[in-house]
Chains A and B, each alone.
Chain A
Amino acid sequence: MTIDYAPAGTGYDEMFEAAGTPRRSSVNFVDRLASFTPQDLIQRQQRAEQTLHTLGITFTVYGEDEGTERIWPFDLLPRIIAGQEWARIEQGLKQRVHALNLFIQDIYNEQRIIKDGTLPAELIHSCASLRPQLIGFRPPQDVWCHISGVDLVRDGDGTIYVLEDNLRCPSGVSYVLENRELMKRTFPQVFEGMSVSPVEDYPEQLLDTLLSCAPAGVDLPCAVLLTPGIYNSAYFEHTYLAQQMGIQLVQGSDLLVRDNRVFMRTTHGLQRVDVIYRRIDDDFLDPTFFRPDSTLGVAGLMEAYLSGNVTLANAPGCGVADDKAIYAYVPDIIRYYLAEDAILSNVPTFVCADSVQRDHVLSNLDKLVVKPTNESGGYGILMGPMASQAERDRCADAVRTNPRNYIAQPLLQLSTVPTLIGDQVHPRHVDLRPFVLSGKDIYVMPGGLTRVALRAGSMVVNSSQGGGSKDTWVLRDRSLRTAPHIATAEQKQSQTLR
């Protein structure tokens, strides 16, 4: 099948420079694709969706009566990233997550960044996800955000921006692994000779990360994954990761705390737990510490944590660094802790807490995207240019009443990738969520989750709002694979010998 669409006007297409002219990284793929008929592709696409159905790879849509499980649409055409470009992104992600981790540690301890006047104290103190109970605490290995998902988008001019940081319980990595598996099952031919970076070792890396942050002095740490249960929208991911890592998947009711130590209830009595990869929000972790009405958590867990008897990943209180108002300061944060400029740019952001910026936002609501600072999943966002006057007025009221809760950004023209729609290929907008693991070292999974907005023209990629996903290929550079450094060294040596 030949893709013959023209990339939409001013936008940036990930696969084509212009109609009929693939980007260098995509030439081989586009050639390979031409040898398949459209019918063949459609059949494979259907087979992929059927496989998702029988595998029961589903997500839950909240507030829908009819059957809470749905498959998440998968598109057969991958998103391809050149190796060189990825190398820069990877470096940028490591830098960013490293700095954010130092930032969280500082906020809960010395607060140098506030005392030095780099960040307004008010911004931190008004942050809804700041956990004052943790002040003075240092987690094992000083790691706070063990698992991060950093959302990236590419604007019309081709620049990659960081859209937001997700440091609480970022989800989606299981789809990356499943999408790759699905591609290999249904469309193996396209991989031949492509040198796509493997993603399959992620569970191994995750387990290493978790175990490397166990409380000091534990020889063979026992790690578990704590899930809210089968009605959580990411439940499939919880089971998948637990299974791939070979650790127990536990619910709050499976755990109990005695003498400040955490145990799980087994058929042979109680067994000690050292590391908890928790997929429950801070608020629900421990009814005696945070929300008393939580039935998902474990009473006494936080005391055990603060006593250093158990590791929680991510650490409670991490959310202070992915607050969207703090996001605006991340370039400053990177400069402050690492004395480097940010490698990856932020989207220009107006912080409504600042009166000058707020006035600008309020008089430009028809051009801006307004986001709540403490939400995720695309909830509560106003897309100014598409909104009605009434919606904008309501938003303006909300901003005036509680400015700290809002930021605004220009509407980005997200890049597109060819996507199978019916029996044709059309450009559809995408974003990218790479996953970063911080333990003793920082690891970045090559690629990440590419989410695609399946409705024509839509920029909303969230699974809860009509988005799908694609396999993401990071190509390994052929020139890099031949290991030029060694060759050069040998040449030099033989030159001196001669």
Chain B
Amino acid sequence: MLSRVADSVYWMSRYLERAENVARFIEVNHNLTLGDGDELSQQWEPLVYITGDHEHFSERFGAPTRDNVLQFLAFDRENPNSIVTCLERARENARSIREVISMSIWEQINKFYHMVLAAAKAPGVVYNTPSEFCERVKTIGNTLVGMTDTTMSHGEPWHFARIGRMIERADKTSRIIDVQYYLLLPTTSDIGSTLDVIRWSALLKSTSALEMYRREHGRIVPAAVADFLILNRYFPRSMHFCIVRAQESLRLIAGSHTGTFHFRSEKIVGRLRSELDYTHIKDIVERGMHEFIDDFQTRLNDLGAAIYSDFFLQSEAT
């Protein structure tokens, strides 16, 4: 397939996943603030930290009020990671590869974009009841993943779409753990309290992991939550799961046998995967959660750069 097309499929998929994750963050945070008058009720700032754009935010909006944060995360066209910007870019990418994706995918992305544009015209409604809007974004996002699986041949373009989605999802799950872990752990006095359970549940909910976690571990225990979201082999939003799938797609695209590689990107993802395969949550906690996640994100960035030079940048010298 054309390198440019592979690049666009990959980014289309990443932006769609990013938009969905931003909606997840907003929705869960909103639920947390609904508690009656405790100190969580005004917590909108951590959301800005999750997306990594806090400097950009405080420069332009100042105080992290609910309305400011929601405007910034959902509808701000100058925020490169807002839902509307993500959809605009996903759609631009989809537009340049309309002949590769199925008609129904294009149609759905187009509807998605128009839905968000319409919502942006009446932001007050979204500020007051973010859940409904976030639910729609999540549902359409999931519909698109389903359509990609059921209407697109599982050949090269599909694998590039999956790699994009998996890298983006791994990155977002890692960010949400990073921020929430930092916020949650210091309040040791709360451990085991109702409030603590609510906060940790919220973390699981934002990754749609609560029910699956309960089946696996039952009671909410911080280390088990981190284990579930980082290392679980079967939960589709865990970092480990995403890396395994990304590696699988890369290997199929490159045509390498298991355990071997042709490209640098395969090597990077392979090392990362093996480490996650054999890491225990205790190792991570001992080393420091933040350091672990920081390193993980750096390596995801390396992986992205390597994919770019291995597949998207076909120089004359090829």
Contact = CB atoms under 8 A, between A and B. Distances in A.
Interface of A: 53-56, 229-230, 235-236, 239-240, 242-243, 248-251, 253-254, 256, 258, 264-267, 269-270
B313 to A, nearest CB: 9
Contact of A265 (B4, B92, B95, B107): B4
B2 A270 contact: no
A260 to B, nearest CB: 15
B314 A250 contact: no
B4 A254 contact: yes
20 contacts: A54-B107, A54-B110, A55-B110, A236-B98, A243-B100, A248-B2, A248-B99, A250-B2, A254-B3, A256-B316, A265-B2, A265-B318, A266-B3, A267-B3, A267-B156, A267-B253, A267-B314, A269-B314, A270-B314, A270-B318
Given A55-B110, A270-B314, A270-B318, A254 B95 contact: no
B110 A266 contact: no
Contacts of A267: 1-3, 6, 156, 160, 253, 311-312, 314
Nearest to A245: B99
A162 B100 CA distance: 38
A229 B93 CA distance: 12
Given A235-B95, A239-B95, 12 more contacts: A53-B114, A55-B110, A56-B107, A56-B110, A240-B98, A242-B99, A248-B99, A265-B314, A266-B1, A267-B1, A267-B3, A267-B312
Contacts of B6: 267
B317 to A, nearest CB: 11
B153 to A, nearest CB: 12
A273 to B, nearest CB: 11
Contact of B318 (A239, A242, A249, A269): A269
Nearest to B311: A267
B106 interface: yes
A250 B1 CA distance: 11
A254 B96 CA distance: 13
A15 B160 CA distance: 52
Nearest to A249: B99
B310 to A, nearest CB: 9
Contacts of A236: 98
Contacts of B107: 54-56
B111 A54 contact: yes
A74 to B, nearest CB: 17
B3 A243 contact: no
Contacts of A239: 95, 98-99
Interface string B1-20: 11111100000000000000
A37 B312 CA distance: 55
A230 B314 contact: no
A66 to B, nearest CB: 13
A53 B6 CA distance: 27
A249 B100 CA distance: 9
A390 to B, nearest CB: 42
Q: Which of B5, B96, B99 has the most CB of A within 10 A?
A: B99
Contact of B4 (A55, A240, A253): A253
Closest 6 CB pairs of A and B: A265-B314, A243-B99, A239-B98, A242-B99, A56-B110, A267-B311
Interface of B: 1-6, 92, 95-100, 103, 106-107, 110-111, 114, 156, 160, 253, 311-312, 314, 316, 318
A266 B114 contact: no
B contacts with A: majority SS: helix
A266 B310 CA distance: 11
Contacts of B1: 266-267
Q: Which of A54, A240, A258, A267 has the most CB of B within 10 A?
A: A267
Contacts of A249: 97-99
A266 B2 CA distance: 4
Contacts of B96: 229-230
Contacts of B253: 267
Nearest to A227: B96
Nearest to B4: A254
Contacts of B98: 236, 239-240, 243, 249
B92 A230 contact: yes
Q: Which of A56, A230, A270 has the most CB of B within 10 A?
A: A56
B99 A265 contact: no
Contacts of B114: 53-54
A266 B7 CA distance: 11
Nearest to A242: B99
B96 to A, nearest CB: 5
Contacts of B314: 265-267, 269-270
A240 B98 CA distance: 8
B318 A264 contact: no
Contacts of B103: 55, 243
B155 to A, nearest CB: 11
Nearest to B110: A56
B262 to A, nearest CB: 11
Contacts of A235: 95
A379 B3 CA distance: 37
Contacts of A55: 103, 106-107, 110
Contacts of B4: 251, 253-254, 265
Nearest to B108: A54
B318 to A, nearest CB: 5
B156 to A, nearest CB: 7
A235 B99 CA distance: 11
Nearest to A251: B4
B3 A230 contact: no
Contacts of A266: 1-3, 314
A230 B253 CA distance: 27
A54 B112 CA distance: 9
B304 to A, nearest CB: 16
A247 B316 CA distance: 23
Contacts of A248: 2, 5, 99
A440 to B, nearest CB: 26
Nearest to B93: A230
A236 B227 CA distance: 47
A243 B5 CA distance: 13
A254 B99 contact: no
Contacts of B92: 230
A48 B177 CA distance: 47
Contacts of A229: 96
A55 B110 CA distance: 7
A242 to B, nearest CB: 4
A267 B265 CA distance: 13
A249 B97 CA distance: 8
Contacts of A54: 107, 110-111, 114
Nearest to B316: A256
Contact of B95 (A230, A250, A251, A253): A230
B196 to A, nearest CB: 46
B264 to A, nearest CB: 15
Contacts of A264: 2
A53 B107 CA distance: 9
Contacts of A265: 2-4, 314, 318
A269 to B, nearest CB: 5
Contacts of B316: 256, 258
